Copies of this chain bind each other. A is one copy, B any other.
Amino acid sequence: MFRPVLAIAGGVGGAKLALGLSRVLDKSELSIIVNTADDETFHGLHVSPDLDTVMYTLAGLSNIEQGWGLEGETFRFLESLERLGGDVWFRIGDSDLATHIRRKELLQNGYTLTEATKYLCKQLNIDTNIIPMSNDQIKTVAVTEEGELPFQDYFVRRRCEPKISAIRFEGSETATPSPDFELALKNSGSIVLCPSNPLVSIGPVLAIPGVREKVRNFKGPRIAISPIVGGKAIKGPAAKMMTELGEEPSCVSVAQGYIGLIDALLIDHMDDQQSKKITDLGIKPIVTNTIMETSEDKVRLANEVSNLLENWYGD
């Protein structure tokens, strides 16, 4: 039985597939584990960009064109904050701000990040298990030519311009997976690595002590969807980062990074000719249309993933 499915996701790409999977699978059949190593404190508030993107996407509230934030968002708060000399490079909208304020309130009231996320999901009528990878603080740090930069500084303020030489996950040595993530690892029948940045979205999840090992030794089918299509990242800096770290930005590099962790990799028709190289790495390439623009795309790809897992043992 491939169900329940444990999906690991970062921001935009992960959220898209998560939305598809949530339409295809029942609540009890799906756990979405979300990267929290991008989390940052702004103005004393706890901002969880990937959790928010997944939440907003599943609640039907996200700004689809932009890829982050809320549809119809306003920025009155930020305009006023700028007038008051506050830092405004991280664009927090008026509605979005409510999420960060409420989350901070819940955390201060003793909720874990998992409990706070569950609470927020309930309020947003999200009927899918969205689970932070950890309740502990893990922070992605970009080691760049300009020195070390916290992820949001690198990603948003500096727009990924400084060349990186390494990525590290501060705090991951002593972190543990969230109890719900542990439980999902134990009870799930399959693992899906969403088309998220392998370095800074999936990477931090795998860096939590014990997780890589558990994925490696997982009994059920494990598949990933390549976020690199035709040598480019569909969204975000994955290709640029891979290049700077000495990897060729390609679905083959994605496969390479996941050796031992996945059994199959969904790649796009555009990368058809890479199939053999992926097979040579001991991973089964599955060529399909991986680009998700419309809702239908997301459901179609999720259905494909679901069918693939369902027929896994019948192959």
Residues of chain A touching chain B, judged by Cβ–Cβ distance below 8 Å, are 43-45, 74, 76-81, 83-86, 93-99, 101-102, 104-105, 108, 119-120, 123-124
- Which residues of the partner chain B approach A97 to less than 8 Å between Cβ atoms? 77, 80, 97
Secondary structure call for the A interface: helix
Knowing that A74-B74, A80-B97, A80-B99 are A-B contacts, what are 6 other residue pairs whose CB atoms are under 8 Å apart, sorted by A's residue number?
Answer: A76-B94, A78-B98, A79-B95, A83-B123, A84-B98, A86-B98
Selected from B76, B99, B105, B119, the residue in CB contact (under 8 A) with A74 is B76
CB contact under 8 A between A94 and B77, given known A86-B105, A101-B43? yes
Cβ–Cβ < 8 Å partners of A120 in chain B: 84
Copies per assembly: 2
Query: Considering only CB atoms, which chain B residue lies closest to A98 in the complex?
Result: B80
Contacts of A83 in B (CB 8 A): 98, 123-124
CA of A104 to CA of B99, assembled, Å: 18
- The answer on a CB contact under 8 Å between B119 and A85 is yes
Bound-state Cα–Cα, A306 to B102, Å: 48
Give complex CA distance A78, B102 in Å: 11
Query: What residues on B are CB-neighbors of A45 within 8 Å?
Result: 101
Contact, CB under 8 Å: B123 / A85: yes
Q: Please measure, in the bound complex, the distance between the C-alpha atom of A97 and the C-alpha atom of B124, giving whole angstroms.
A: 23
A-B contacts, 16 listed (Cβ < 8 Å): A43-B104, A74-B94, A76-B94, A77-B77, A77-B94, A77-B97, A78-B98, A79-B98, A80-B95, A80-B96, A81-B98, A83-B124, A84-B99, A85-B102, A85-B123, A86-B98
